[in-house]
């Protein structure tokens, strides 16, 4: 998708993903090696009553869906960051996570007229409709490309 394909209020559903126990452990060992992400037995006795995915793993999987769905062949040139990032509930092995992207703001930069700015809310929900990810991202687009 190109910048001109987006509009305020637009809702995109880039798909879903599922994380199994081994994927959760492997990601955590590489990038977030906290015991409640890597040690099944300890996690069973911990505050989450079982193994949970790293929030960064959830973000990474959502990012992949967003790129594959609408950024891969776009005129996107990156992001200056996030306004906020929340993990309201844990992701557990076997959860089916659906993502929803809502376009909050679509505008041309006032200081750089060749840059489009997209502000969007990303949410992810498990199979029980419990929200597991909520973030607001800003994405820049080069309007000259």
Tell me: the pLDDT tens digits for 68-117? 999 998 999 999 999 999 999 999 999 999 999 999 999 999 999 899 99
Contacts of 106 (CB under 8 A, 6+ apart): 3, 6, 7, 8, 10, 116, 117, 118, 119
Tens of pLDDT, residues 12-26: 999 999 999 999 999
Note the pLDDT of residue 135: 98
**Whether pLDDT at 3 is above 90:** yes
Under DSSP, the state recorded for 99 is E
Model pTM?
0.93
Question: In CATH, what is the architecture of 3-142?
Answer: Roll (3.10)
**Whether pLDDT at 134 is above 80:** yes
**Whether pLDDT at 40 is above 90:** yes
Beta strand 76-86 with 131-142 is antiparallel
**Whether pLDDT at 35 is above 90:** yes
């Amino acid at each position: 998708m190109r910048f001109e394909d987006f509009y305020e209020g637009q809702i995109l559903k880039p798909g879903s993903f599922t994380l199994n126990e081994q994927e959760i452990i492997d990601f955590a060992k590489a990038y977030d090696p906290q015991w409640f992400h890597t040690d099944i037995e300890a996690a069973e006795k911990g505050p989450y009553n079982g193994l949970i995915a790293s929030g960064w793993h959830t973000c990474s999987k959502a990012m992949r869906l967003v790129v594959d769905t609408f950024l891969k062949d776009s005129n996107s040139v990156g992001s200056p960051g996030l306004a906020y990032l929340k993990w309201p509930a844990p992701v557990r092995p076997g959860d089916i996570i659906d993502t929803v992207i809502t376009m909050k703001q679509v505008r041309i930069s006032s200081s750089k007229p060749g840059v489009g700015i997209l502000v969007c809310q990303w949410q992810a929900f498990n199979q029980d409709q419990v929200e597991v990810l909520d973030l607001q991202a800003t994405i820049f687009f080069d309007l000259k490309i």
